[in-house]
Amino acid sequence: MSNQFQRIVLASRPSGEVTANNFRLETVPVPTIMDGQVLIRNHFLSLDPYMRVRMDDAKNYAAPQALNETMIGGTVGEIIASKNPQFQIGDKVIGMMGWAEIGVSDGTLLRKLDTTHIPLSAYLGAVGMPGMTAWYGFTQIMQAKEGETVVVSAASGAVGSVVGQLAKLRGCRAVGIAGGAEKCAYVVNELGFDACVDYKAANQAGNLAEQLAAATPNGIDAIFENVGGASFDACLLRVNPFGRIALCGMISGYDGGDMAIQNARMLLSMRVTLRGFIISEHLDFWPQGLKELGSLVAQGKLKFRESIAPNLATAPEAFIGLLKGKNLGKQLVRLIPE
């Protein structure tokens, strides 16, 4: 193994949209591990919308990403050296090693993975943080019952795709909102949603409200919101009394766009429950959720797709594309050669 590896640090904070200049690719020495530590060769890096929020130096649920330090991010990889008796060379693990080819851990928040029936990369998607985000929001906040209508924004993404499939498995009507005909076809034809509204085409035609009404003839009982903006406002006008909203993200405003809710009056008139959540604050639910998600993936009952950038150097471009909705399914970066 080389005595050097590559990592990407946050070089500057974005002003509006993220650019490639906000990142810097560095070559650094492989560290020598101490007692209790392990050295990990990362195989895949997860790219997620929350990273955009962490790039700003602003009050939020977690500390901002430090400048000139390795960008935060979830990874899966293999132990290549160990001075920790709980981990052996060859163990596959998931952790938060960031945008880097190599990581060092003392074992805290590092978890061994079984890849017998589940691909390693899936632990960053359907059987990882995105899957758990979907599972928790659906089961604990939306609490949708059989026969109810569930609407999911960013329905073709890593989180939204799982929400809709969980809804179908529980006998709900699942309606997605996604950008483009290809994504909507994937959501309906492969994931099994009952309908999908192409918000890009609908916005161009000026008939978003009409298309959403056609897809939700009995109104909306529960919303999983990833995006915010015009689609969320249109959903609020369709929400039924005592509707539930799991507020996971508002990606439409992460680059400085308007995050105001225009139809907030519906929250009161329909007596809606709206709850924002961060999945890392609910670790007590992870064993239960991951067990169900892993079983569903292993049995082929929970489908997923991955968009994979070929190497670390392409991570900034892939991340910018993710924020613009260019990916289909879970956005990953491959950190080892194919």
- Asked if the model's pLDDT at residue 256 lies above 80, the reply is no
Residue 253 — very low, low, confident or very high, per pLDDT cuts 50/70/90?
confident
- Asked if the model's pLDDT at residue 270 lies above 70, the reply is yes
- Asked if the model's pLDDT at residue 266 lies above 70, the reply is yes
Q: Which amino acid is at 71?
A: M
Give the C-alpha separation, 104 to 85, whole Å: 15
Could you state, in order of their start, the residue ranges of all structural domains in the chain?
4-125+304-334, 129-280
Mean local confidence (pLDDT), 276-284: 96
- Asked if the model's pLDDT at residue 77 lies above 90, the reply is yes
- Asked if the model's pLDDT at residue 255 lies above 90, the reply is no
- CATH architecture of the domain with range 129-280: 3-Layer(aba) Sandwich (3.40)
Which two structure tokens, joined as six digits, stand for 263? 């139809």
**pLDDT at residue number 246:** 98
Give the C-alpha separation, 320 to 258, whole Å: 19
Residue 338 — very low, low, confident or very high, per pLDDT cuts 50/70/90?
confident
For the chain, give the mean pLDDT. Answer: 96
- Asked if the model's pLDDT at residue 47 lies above 70, the reply is yes
Mean local confidence (pLDDT), 141-167: 97
Q: Which CATH superfamily is domain 4-125+304-334 in?
A: Medium-chain alcohol dehydrogenases, catalytic domain (3.90.180.10)
217 vs 252, more confident: 217
Q: Tell which residue, 260, 224, 221, 265, has the closest CA to residue 239.
A: 221
Kindly report, residue by residue over 27-46, the tens digit of the pLDDT.
Answer: 999 999 999 999 999 999 99
**pLDDT at residue number 62:** 82
Mean local confidence (pLDDT), 56-72: 91
**pLDDT at residue number 257:** 67
198 alpha-carbon distance from chain centroid: 20
Q: Tell which residue, 16, 47, 44, has the closest CA to residue 101.
A: 44
Residue 290 — very low, low, confident or very high, per pLDDT cuts 50/70/90?
very high
Give the C-alpha separation, 151 to 125, whole Å: 20
Mean local confidence (pLDDT), 267-286: 97
Kindly report, residue by residue over 93-109, the tens digit of the pLDDT.
Answer: 999 999 999 999 999 99
